[in-house]
Amino acid sequence: MSNLLTYISVNDGKIKRSSLEVLSRCNEIAEKNGKTSSAIVISDDCSTIVENLKSYGPSVIYTIEDPIFKNHLNTPLLKALTLAMSEINPDVMAFASTEGSKDILGALAANRNAAALADVSEFDWTGDAVTAKRPVMASKIISSVETKGSPVILTVRSGSYDTVEKSGESKVQSIPFTFDKNELKLTLKEIISATGDKVDLSEAETVIAAGRGVKDEEGRKLIDELAAVLNAGIGASRALTESGDYDPSLQIGQTGKVVSPQLYIAVGISGAIQHVAGMANSKVIVAINKDPDAPIFEIADYGLVGDLYKILPPFIDELKKIKG
Amino acid sequence: MKFYVCIKQVPDVNAPLQIKEGELIQDANRNILNAYDASAVEEALVLKEAHGGEIEVVLIGPDKASETIRKALAMGADSGSHILTEGSEEFDSFSYAKILAEFFKDKEYQYIFCGKQSQDTDSGLTGSMLAEFLDLPYATNAVGLQLEGENLIVKRQGDTGQEMIELPAPSLVTCSNDMNDPRIPSLKGIMQSKRKPVNTIAVSDLKNGLTNGSIKTSVVGYEEKPKREPGKKYEGEPDEIAKEVAQLLDSAENVI
């Protein structure tokens, strides 16, 4: 039976919403075209993830459990995915687009002799070719793409689909896996994790992004305050991650993360196309910039022209009042 | 130590472009060295300056793309290989990686560097595909590199933080443009680049690994991304416009 398989990304023991979006889309395609939609969890501890996954009703939840999966490392993940694909034999293997999945997508496709589509914003499959849309040219253009042959491996931009719960029994099936440390071709020496327990940027409903206009400690404090009021994730333009003011993992844009929150507030960001490529799909865009001709105003729903140091304090106060 | 850097000529995403009958029309005179590849070249140059060695750039592309090889040579790479394509051929990441794998089959090297993606298509597939075809350990999205003996310490940007990974030689790394600012070729560099050797190979000589099924994806059309409706600009007293917009985000948009 032809089938779709969704890889469930896990961050800090929690399922990433973006992979539930992908699973929901695969469920929808399966239902429409009489296929099956399953999921795979690869982790050092699968049990809670499997339980939480059941409300999304994949036909089968496959698990591969091993202590090696505590941290992201491409060699063991590739081995596990290669094994899973050869056992399950999916026609379409779908991932949420994350740095983790981008790391292995090409190698997995090369290994499985599969067609690969990276970072699609839409996809469909009726049983023959996969058709998809991909933003290209710094997201100025949408290309329509098509695959030849099977299997097809793809990654999907976060925010492309809604998460939809689904009733129905999920079978759980563990795939035996061993990994010998000698197979590790590379060594993970250290993880420098800077984001700690803050809101996950790629999943946040509201994102505050700081740009060059945020010049000093005082400005960064205002950003933190605004983010706290709105329970928002904090991102930054390339200028501020390069200067070291913000951690590189917070960069939003063509090079960094692509986000599509309900509300995006660009503070002191001019709106270079490389930045816009990472946030243009946000539902509501607010921009604060003192240059009335800044390109960010061309895409902002609400453009506040003025000094962010003067606008943010009353803006934060008013939001506090509204939030009560 | 031998470094190979895979480079690509791409359209400048800042240049005007149009779509005619579903085809993307770009000004070929605005083609440039892919920014991520420029960072890969820069990183190889920095390592060479510190530790010695030789840098060869490899490019798959039409005759016109030789200017991009010259650019990398002007930056300081020692030599180039141009895998020459003919106008009508179209390849996807999988087939590019197959051709490159065939090129590297009989080569000796410690490290292959690639840009992490092309700035026109943003797929980011070819690097890790090539690593898999060559059975090399690899790291993607590198933001920092250091040599320790013959091993490479790669700082890569992961989802929530940075991972420090040690790679033995030979191996492959894909580079982010966040790792450096590529140098602008000096006049001397440009003059010297003209005398540096560039080896041209017909793509047909490297098609052993290619089969009918090697081109697995194709573009069937392009459309312009729908433009966002222009919003409203608020100019005036900071207190007033801040209040007004905050209230609208609540009452009109319901996103607070």
Q: What is the pLDDT of residue A217?
A: 97
Average the pLDDT over each of A79-83, A121-125, B17-21 and give the range with the smallest value: B17-21
Contact (Cβ atoms closer than 8 angstroms) between residue A193 and residue B160: yes
In a domain? residue A231: yes
CA nearest B24 in A: which residue? A141
Q: What whole-number distance in Å separates Cα of residue A308 and Cα of residue B90? A: 49
Q: Which residue in the set A71, A110, A145 is minimally distant from B97, CB to CB?
A: A110
Whether residues B166 and A189 touch (CB distance < 8 A) is answered with yes
The tens digit of pLDDT for each residue in A123-162 reads 999 988 999 999 999 989 999 999 999 999 999 999 899 9
Give the number of other CB atoms < 10 A from CB of residue B120.
Answer: 22
Predicted confidence band at B230 (pLDDT cuts at 50, 70, 90)?
confident
CA geometry: angle at B153 spanning B160 and B59, to 5°?
95
User: How many CB pairs below 8 A link A and B?
Assistant: 277
Q: What is the pLDDT of residue A196?
A: 54
The tens digit of pLDDT for each residue in B116-152 reads 999 999 999 999 999 999 999 999 999 999 999 989 9
CA nearest A314 in B: which residue? B239
In a domain? residue A67: yes
Domain that holds residue A276: 201-323
Is cis: bond before A151, omega within 30 of 0?
yes
Q: What whole-number distance in Å separates Cα of residue B5 and Cα of residue B110? A: 11
Find tokens 């492309």 and name the residue.
A160
In a domain? residue A288: yes
Is the model's pLDDT at B77 over the cut of 80?
yes
In a domain? residue A194: no
| Residues of A in Cβ contact (< 8 Å) with B120 | 136-137
Tokens representing B9 are 């000529």
Whether residues B225 and A117 touch (CB distance < 8 A) is answered with no
Tokens representing B247 are 């209230």
What residues contact residue B249 under an 8 Å CB cut-off, 6+ apart? A263, A284, A286, A302, A319, B255, B256
Element spanning B151, H or E: strand B151-157
Q: Give the residue extent of every domain in chain B.
A: 2-214
Q: What whole-number distance in Å separates Cα of residue A211 and Cα of residue A204? A: 19
In a domain? residue A145: yes
Whether residues A145 and B125 touch (CB distance < 8 A) is answered with no
Do A128 and A271 have their domain in common?
no
Q: Which residue in the set A115, A241, A318 is minimally distant from B247, CB to CB?
A: A318
Find tokens 């946030």 and name the residue.
A279
Whether residues B13 and A137 touch (CB distance < 8 A) is answered with yes
The tens digit of pLDDT for each residue in A262-289 reads 999 999 999 999 999 999 989 999 999 9
Do A228 and A179 have their domain in common?
no
Look up the CATH number of the domain holding residue A171.
Answer: 3.40.50.620
Q: Which residue in the set A78, A251, A314 is minimally distant from B239, CB to CB?
A: A314
Contact (Cβ atoms closer than 8 angstroms) between residue B43 and residue B21: no
- Rg of chain B over Cα atoms, rounded to whole angstroms, equals 22
CATH architecture of structural domain B2-214: 3-Layer(aba) Sandwich (3.40)
Give the number of other CB atoms < 10 A from CB of residue A245.
Answer: 18
Find tokens 């803050």 and name the residue.
A198
Whether residues B218 and A144 touch (CB distance < 8 A) is answered with no
Q: Which residue in the set A71, A145, A305 is minimally distant from B218, CB to CB?
A: A145
Tokens representing B23 are 């085809």
Predicted confidence band at A249 (pLDDT cuts at 50, 70, 90)?
confident
Whether residues B97 and A102 touch (CB distance < 8 A) is answered with no
Q: How many helices (H) and strands (E) does chain A have?
A: 8, 18
- The Cα of A276 is separated from the nearest Cα of chain B by a number of Å equal to 12
| Residues of A in Cβ contact (< 8 Å) with B138 | 74, 107, 186
Is the model's pLDDT at A197 over the cut of 60?
no
Q: What is the pLDDT of residue B209?
A: 81
Contact (Cβ atoms closer than 8 angstroms) between residue A257 and residue A270: no
CA nearest B179 in A: which residue? A242
User: Checking DSSP bridges between strand A284-289 and strand A263-267, what pairing results, if any?
Assistant: parallel
CA A52, A56, A60, A61 dihedral sign is: negative
Contact (Cβ atoms closer than 8 angstroms) between residue A10 and residue A49: yes
CA nearest A141 in B: which residue? B224
Mutate to test the interface with B, among A73, A93, A136, A276 (most CBs of B within 10 A): A136
| Residues of B in Cβ contact (< 8 Å) with A295 | none
C-alpha distances (whole Å) from A104 to each of A112, A261, A315, B127 are 12, 26, 43, 10
| Residues of A in Cβ contact (< 8 Å) with B6 | none
- Pick the last residue of a domain from A183, A218, A235: A183
Q: What is the mean pLDDT of residues A59-79?
A: 96
Q: What whole-number distance in Å separates Cα of residue A107 and Cα of residue A78? A: 8
Which ipTM score applies to this complex?
Answer: 0.94
CA geometry: angle at A297 spanning A291 and A301, to 5°?
140
Enter the DSSP assignment of B194.
T
Q: What is the pLDDT of residue B81?
A: 98
Mutate to test the interface with A, among B126, B216, B234, B237 (most CBs of A within 10 A): B216
Q: Which residue in the set A195, A285, A314 is minimally distant from B243, CB to CB?
A: A314
How many residues would you count in chain A?
A: 324
Q: Into how many domains does chain A fold?
A: 2
CA nearest B232 in A: which residue? A302
Whether residues B160 and A319 touch (CB distance < 8 A) is answered with no
Q: Which residues pair with B5 in a beta bridge?
A: B57, B113
Average the pLDDT over each of A142-146, B62-66, B158-162 and give the range with the smallest value: B158-162
Enter the DSSP assignment of A159.
T
Do A305 and A212 have their domain in common?
yes
| Residues of A in Cβ contact (< 8 Å) with B165 | 186-189
Do A165 and A257 have their domain in common?
no
Q: In chain A, what is the greatest distance between 2 CA atoms, to the nearest angstrom?
A: 62
Mutate to test the interface with B, among A15, A101, A103 (most CBs of B within 10 A): A103
Q: What whole-number distance in Å separates Cα of residue B48 and Cα of residue A294? A: 41
Is the model's pLDDT at A114 over the cut of 80?
yes
Contact (Cβ atoms closer than 8 angstroms) between residue A104 and residue A9: no
| Residues of B in Cβ contact (< 8 Å) with A139 | 225
Look up the CATH number of the domain holding residue A281.
Answer: 3.40.50.1220
Do A136 and A219 have their domain in common?
no
Measure the N-to-C terminal CA separation of chain B; round to a whole number of Å.
57
Do A166 and A33 have their domain in common?
yes
In a domain? residue A190: no
In a domain? residue A167: yes
Is the model's pLDDT at A199 over the cut of 80?
no
Predicted confidence band at A1 (pLDDT cuts at 50, 70, 90)?
low
Is the model's pLDDT at B87 over the cut of 80?
no
Whether residues B167 and A186 touch (CB distance < 8 A) is answered with yes
Q: What is the mean pLDDT of residues A48-60?
A: 96
- The Cα of A171 is separated from the nearest Cα of chain B by a number of Å equal to 30
Find tokens 């650019």 and name the residue.
B71
- The Cα of A194 is separated from the nearest Cα of chain B by a number of Å equal to 6
Do A239 and A286 have their domain in common?
yes
User: Checking DSSP bridges between strand B171-175 and strand B232-235, what pairing results, if any?
Assistant: unpaired
Q: What is the pLDDT of residue B89?
A: 78
Average confidence score pLDDT of chain B: 94
Q: What is the pLDDT of residue A195?
A: 56
From the list B199, B210, B204, the residue with the least C-alpha distance to B58 is: B199
- The Cα of A299 is separated from the nearest Cα of chain B by a number of Å equal to 6
Q: What is the pLDDT of residue B49?
A: 97
Q: What whole-number distance in Å separates Cα of residue B107 and Cα of residue A17? A: 44
Q: Which residue in the set B161, B164, B255 is minimally distant from A262, CB to CB?
A: B255
Average confidence score pLDDT of chain A: 94
Residue A172 CB-density burial (10 A; 0-12 exposed, 13-18 middle, 19+ buried): middle
Q: What is the pLDDT of residue B220?
A: 94
CA nearest A197 in B: which residue? B160
3-state per-residue secondary structure call for A212-224: CCCCCHHHHHHHH
Q: What is the pLDDT of residue A297?
A: 96
Q: What is the pLDDT of residue A198?
A: 67
Q: What is the pLDDT of residue B202?
A: 95
C-alpha distances (whole Å) from A293 to each of A271, A279, A297, B89 are 10, 19, 7, 43
In a domain? residue A195: no
Q: What whole-number distance in Å separates Cα of residue A287 and Cα of residue A303? A: 5
The SS3 call for residue A319 is helix
CA quadruple B113, B116, B122, B124: dihedral, nearest 10: 80
